[in-house]
Amino acid sequence: MLKLDERLSLCAYFVREGVSLADIGTDHGYLPIWLLLNNKIKYAVAADVRKGPLERAKSNMERYRVTDKVKTVLSDGLENISADDADDIVMAGMGGELIASLIDRTPWLKDTNKNLILQPMTRAEALREYLCLNGFNIKNEKACISFGKTYCVMLVSYDGTIRQCPMKYKYAGTLDCDKSVEARRYIYAVTQKLKKKLMGYEKGTEEYNSVEELITELAELIDMGEQ
Ligand SMILES: C[S@@+](CC[C@H](N)C(=O)[O-])C[C@H]1O[C@@H](n2cnc3c(N)ncnc32)[C@H](O)[C@@H]1O
């Protein structure tokens, strides 16, 4: 039986029961395969911009005998996917800026009935900022630890409300209210990255002070989680 790691398991957790799913940047195709094997979804479109990963997905789908309920599509982002193909759309394992640009190029995602499940590998802060400023609501966000690394997964849908995106929200999202070990570890990893960034700024400048202040705020969250 196929087993997902913690990162893909968390993506799977956010997918609604009985939906049609689009998995953008599917690579091996494990997420739609697992969801089909576990009868959580009715149908899937697995898309990738490269032929190699798509072939890999196809052969895994044959191996797990789910080919009747999934189609593979060569597609740059959601270019070759239509609104009717998917209720829930997963974009996992890609950079936050790339995910933001793929959303931006797909106007039909501005639909309150569609759920986006987003798992940025890098620049999660850029993705959160894009979502806030473009009418997308992060309805839930959770962190996980997989093979010693921390990841966040966001459950997002469009509601048309343009939101402010203060620094703390940009870097911690709604994880600031989450006292789980995973969320604290995620925020800790973010502070470590920010400390490296701080070294590139001149002490006393506005940029330096705002990053230093953010690190202090985030460090307080970690301490609160340990109480
Ligand atoms: C690291 S893999 C992630 C695989 C899987 N989603 C996961 O999270 O384990 C990233 C995949 O995204 C694909 N990709 C990159 N840019 C893309 C784009 N613009 N449209 C669709 N797929 C893309 C790559 O070809 C690659 O197969």
Structure tokens at 214: 């953010």
Last residue of a domain, one of 138, 165, 192: 165
Q: pLDDT grade, residue 211 (50/70/90)?
A: very high
- pLDDT above 70: residue 224: no
92 and 188 fall within a common domain: no
Last residue of a domain, one of 165, 190, 207: 165
Domain tally for the chain?
Answer: 2
Nearest CA to ligand 1 atom 1: 93
CB contact set of 85 (below 8 Å; sequence gap of 6+): 20, 22, 45
Instruction: Please report the pLDDT score of residue 1 as a whole number.
Output: 86
In a domain, residue 1? The reply is: no
The residue segments making up the domain with residue 54 are 6-165
Ligand 1 atom closest to Cα of residue 26: 6
If one counts every other C-beta atom within 10 angstroms of the C-beta of residue 59, the result is 12
In a domain, residue 41? The reply is: yes
Place of tokens 């400048």: 205
- Decide if 102 contacts 77 (C-beta within 8 A): yes
32 and 63 fall within a common domain: yes
Distance of alpha carbon 202 from its chain centroid, rounded?
Answer: 33
The mean per-residue pLDDT over the stretch 85-110 comes to 98
Q: pLDDT grade, residue 222 (50/70/90)?
A: confident
53 and 158 fall within a common domain: yes
159 and 206 fall within a common domain: no
Ligand 1 centre to CA of 204 (Å) is 40
| Virtual torsion, Cα 204, 209, 211, 212, nearest 10 deg | 90
Ligand 1 centre to CA of 199 (Å) is 32
| Residue ranges of E strands in 75-135 | 88-94, 115-120
160 and 201 fall within a common domain: no
* Stated pTM of the model: 0.96
Residues lining ligand 1, Cβ inside 6 A: 8, 24-27, 47-50, 53, 76-77, 92-94, 102
Nearest CA to ligand 1 atom 23: 25
Last residue of a domain, one of 113, 130, 165: 165
- pLDDT above 60: residue 225: no
Read off the CATH number of the domain in which 56 is found.
Answer: 3.40.50.150
In a domain, residue 29? The reply is: yes
30 and 118 fall within a common domain: yes
